Structure formats: structure tokens, C-alpha cells
């Protein structure tokens, strides 16, 4: 037991900050499922680990990136999200949304307000979508615990004409007291679920 473009320069330093937080630490391989590899590493000064999911997806990188970037199209997201409310969406630039993550009873559900920046390198074709908490926009609810320590970055790189290399990296502290197996679900199962949703949707389309 324990007590889940803005300016290009701004987005660049945001992604640099995220990568530096774990650059000096080694990633530990945890599991592989359906071609999706999951790694974790210890965050300095934190009780939980950060996560990284890596996969090769049989679809053009631009299609993969377009699916991830479009917050109005979320049917492939982790099914544990009980509510997804889009607050702002400027295509290929920024987004804001509110999430409710349903956890097994008797654990209290978590909610989170997210601020997203989108950057694409026109030369390499690499796209990055970075998300951080957005405090103060949605009032906290008494029946939920608000997640305040969170970050997530998608990086999509071309890996050939019909392939994309996808990396999902992040950290989430669900706050409050939760069983260890739920914390593990947030950093291992959830990345697998969302990457698997992309693979199933786009690879099925490619094979038609």
C-alpha cells in the first residue's frame, strides 16, 4: 500500500526537461505484449517510476501522428477513462481536455485536467505531443482525487514508407493511498492499452 504550436522554443524546452529527468537513469525492461515493449525507471525523489512504451506500427507515421493528435477521436484510448471532455482543440498546435479515470472499487476515481502542445519537425517528420497538468481550469470534486503530478509525451518517427516508430513516455502519481497493483496498472497496463488501440485500428486499415 502507498499514501495515474505554442511557441516552438517553449515546446522544445518542455520536451528537453522531460527527457533530462530520466536521461541519466537506466530503463528496466518490464514486459512485452503484442509487439509493445514496456520499460520503467526510478524517478529521483519520487516514490513511483516513470514508464516508456515502444512499438513499431505498420502504418505511415503521418497517419499514426494524426490519430494521436486528434483529441476529438478517442475511441482507441484506454477503456478505463470514464469521461473525456475536450475543452480546447487547435489542430496540430494545442489541446486541453479533462479526464476521469475509473479505478476498481473501493479505490476512489481520479481526475485530471491536461494541457497539450504539438510540435512537428518538417525536415525529419518526427512529431511530438507533450501533455502536462492544467491546474485551476476545472474545479476539484469531492468524490474524486485530482492528479497533479503527471506528464506524458508521444514521439512518432517515420520508420519506412509504411511503418512508424512510436514511443510513449511519462509519469503519473495517482495520489492518495492505493494498492501497489493499481499503481502498476497505471504505469504498465495503461501504456500497453493505448498503444494497442492505435495498432489495432491502423494496422487493420492497412491490411484491408
In the chain, domain spans: 8-206
Q: What is 8-206's CATH superfamily?
A: START domain (3.30.530.20)
pLDDT (tens digit, 9 = 90+) per residue, 56-85?
999 999 999 999 999 999 989 988 889 999
Return the H-helix or E-strand segment holding 15: helix 8-23
Extract the C-alpha cell encoding 198.
492505435
Of 61-70, 128-137, 198-207, where does mean pLDDT reach its minimum?
198-207
Q: Can you give the pTM of this predicted structure?
A: 0.84
Q: Average pLDDT for residues 100-122, to the nearest whole number?
A: 93
Taking all residues of the chain, what is their mean pLDDT, rounded to a whole number? 86
Q: Name which of 162, 137, 154 is nearest 197 in CA terms.
A: 154
Of 77-86, 104-113, 162-171, 184-193, where does mean pLDDT reach its minimum?
184-193
Extract the C-alpha cell encoding 6.
505554442
Of 38-47, 90-99, 125-134, where does mean pLDDT reach its minimum?
38-47
Return the H-helix or E-strand segment holding 31: strand 28-33
CB–CB of 13/6 below 8 Å? Answer: no
Amino acid at each position: 500500500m502507498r499514501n495515474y504550436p505554442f511557441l516552438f522554443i517553449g515546446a522544445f524546452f518542455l520536451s528537453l526537461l522531460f527527457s533530462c529527468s530520466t536521461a541519466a537513469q537506466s530503463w528496466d525492461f518490464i514486459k512485452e505484449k503484442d509487439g509493445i515493449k514496456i520499460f520503467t525507471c526510478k524517478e529521483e525523489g519520487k516514490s513511483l517510476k516513470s514508464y516508456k512504451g515502444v512499438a513499431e506500427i505498420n502504418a505511415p507515421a503521418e497517419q499514426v501522428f494524426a490519430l494521436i493528435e486528434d483529441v476529438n477521436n478517442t475511441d482507441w484510448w484506454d477503456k478505463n477513462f470514464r469521461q473525456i471532455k475536450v475543452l480546447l482543440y487547435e489542430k496540430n498546435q494545442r489541446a486541453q481536455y479533462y479526464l476521469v479515470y475509473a479505478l476498481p472499487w473501493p479505490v476512489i476515481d481520479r481526475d485530471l485536467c491536461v494541457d497539450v502542445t504539438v510540435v512537428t519537425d518538417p525536415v525529419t517528420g518526427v512529431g511530438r505531443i507533450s501533455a502536462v497538468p492544467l491546474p485551476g481550469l476545472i474545479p476539484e470534486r469531492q468524490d474524486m482525487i485530482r492528479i497533479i503530478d503527471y506528464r506524458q509525451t508521444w514521439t512518432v518517427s517515420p520508420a519506412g514508407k509504411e511503418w512508424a516508430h512510436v514511443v510513449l513516455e511519462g509519469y503519473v502519481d495517482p495520489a492518495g493511498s492505493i494498492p501497489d497493483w493499481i499503481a502498476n496498472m497505471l504505469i504498465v497496463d495503461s501504456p500497453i492499452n493505448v498503444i494497442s488501440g492505435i495498432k489495432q485500428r491502423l494496422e487493420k486499415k492497412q491490411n484491408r
